Structure 1
Amino acid sequence: MIVEGIATARSSKKARKTYLRMVKNIQLMGSIPKMARIDNPLIGFSEEDARRLNHPHDNALFVSIQARDYNMHQVLVDNDSSADILYYPGFQQMGISRKRLVPMNALLVGFGGMRVFPLGAITLAVTMGDYTQQITKNVTFLIVDCPFAYIAVIGQPTLNSWKAITLTYHLMIKFLTDYGVGELQRD
């Protein structure tokens, strides 16, 4: 789990500590019933979606996405990450000048217990899904220079903005598009 990120980067030390305590002690105080929109299709998963996999499994969800005309493979989808991460080798492969990075004063915690300061942040247009059931949205990635087996991490900020639903049993993401429900299967 990656704690902190864009949302807490400009906060005071006291605010970050308060946020961290809050994250560690989340309690459900009550819920407001939500009505399903009639004009939007429902997102669902079926056993048919899972038939192509060998069960039981404990695989992580890796997908391929497109960012700035660059096909990114081995992107980890992490529902527990509060930041979207792009590792420096992947950033370099995209041919983007380091001058385009926005300086960040954010400390990331969670890389095997390490504390890592990002080199900066960059916002890229990211597309996922297949034509016509795809979406393109801007994603702000923190650029991190440390070795990992994947090129990027898609975390809560992006999953929430995409209104995406992930299911690790199916190794799949589903999301709403203008033309129905889009899906992205494991890489």
Structure 2
Amino acid sequence: MSFNKEDARGVKQPHNDPLVIMLTIEGFNTKRILVDNGSSADIIYLPAFQQLKLDLGRLRHFDSPLVSFSGDRLTRQLDFLVVDCPSSYNVIIGRPTLNRWKSAISTYCLKVKFPKENDVGEVKGDQVLARKCYQAVLAAKENHTYTIEEKEEDKIETLETVELVKGEATKTTRIGMTLSPEMRAGLVQFLKENLNVFAWSYEDMPSISPKVIQHKLNVNPERKPVQQKRRVFAPERNKAITDDFNYCW
């Protein structure tokens, strides 16, 4: 079994996406299956087990800790550990199954290959779904840090808005509300005395080189320009577009 350029066709490169596939389990097309050769067990999460409407009598107690785990038709009987904990995946295919299948994995091609009787079978990964699952994992970790643990050092300090130029609501900044009255007064005075370091508008930043940042249209100069038809908007939208255009120029 080998992988070539054709196996990577359709995969957006470069990437560091996990290998997420779909398999048929108990007659149901089951998505969000993570192929993880770092897992020492094949795992199915309890919500997926319940949605498959499997017989609870098939469960057997497993008294052992789990450490650090967070195409072609293929018919195999697998034994899963049913785990009751939150996860963005339904199933994890680990080393036991991968070794039983005598499979080869390419995370670059996002593909699993395995020998068949007279051929080589393959299962392609779903890159879009893999990214959604990964984003869900990150979101869950972020929520856990700031809402579940609620450690003192993780709490976000409340800020107050301070007007630096009297009567000009646009020239403001925000400072923490846990400062002592003396420190707050000193900080506000310091900020007011150094108003010249603030950039309140684009005109206040004339010395920035275009090499740092600039806006340009990504167009092909060799192509003939095509004028689009005039689009008509509601009066309030027309006013908003005109105001925004005038502001930019």
With the shorter chain as reference, the TM-score category is 0.5 to 0.7
1:51 is displaced (CA, Å) by 2.4
Say which SS state the counterpart of residue 85 (structure 2) adopts: coil
CA distance in structure 2 between the aligned counterparts of 1:73 and 1:160, rounded to whole angstroms: 21
1:179 is displaced (CA, Å) by 3.5
1:47 corresponds to 2:5: yes
| Relative contact order, higher structure (CA 8 A, sep 6+) | 1
Contact 1:65–1:71 (CA<8 Å) still a contact in 2?
A: yes
Give, as a single letter, the amino acid of the residue that structure 2 aligns with 1:102: R
Q: If you compute each CA radius of gyration, which structure gives the higher value, 1 or 2?
A: 2
1:111 is displaced (CA, Å) by 4.1
Q: Which runs of 4+ in 1 moved over 3 A?
A: none
Give, as a single letter, the amino acid of the residue that structure 1 aligns with 2:117: D
* 2:28 corresponding residue in structure 1: 70
RMSD: 1.2
* 2:41 corresponding residue in structure 1: 83
* 1:135 corresponding residue in structure 2: 74
Name stretches of at least 5 consecutive residues in structure 2 with no aligned partner: 127-249
* 2:91 corresponding residue in structure 1: 152
Q: CA 1:181/1:100 → structure 2, altered by over 3 Å: closer, same or farther?
A: same
The answer to which structure has the higher helix fraction is: 2
CA distance in structure 2 between the aligned counterparts of 1:185 and 1:100, rounded to whole angstroms: 30
CA distance in structure 1 between the aligned counterparts of 2:42 and 2:98, rounded to whole angstroms: 10
CA distance in structure 2 between the aligned counterparts of 1:93 and 1:135, rounded to whole angstroms: 22
Contact 2:39–2:69 (CA<8 Å) still a contact in 1?
A: no
CA distance in structure 2 between the aligned counterparts of 1:67 and 1:51, rounded to whole angstroms: 27
CA distance in structure 1 between the aligned counterparts of 2:103 and 2:69, rounded to whole angstroms: 24
Normalised to the residue count of structure 1, the TM-score between the two structures is: 0.65
* 1:96 corresponding residue in structure 2: 54
1:167 corresponds to 2:106: yes
Contact 1:135–1:177 (CA<8 Å) still a contact in 2?
A: no
Task: Report matched runs for 1:31-42 at 5 Å.
Answer: none
Normalised to the residue count of structure 2, the TM-score between the two structures is: 0.49
Aligned residues: 126
CA distance in structure 1 between the aligned counterparts of 2:28 and 2:45, rounded to whole angstroms: 14
Match of 2:17 among 59, 74, 79: 59
State percent identity of aligned pairs: 44
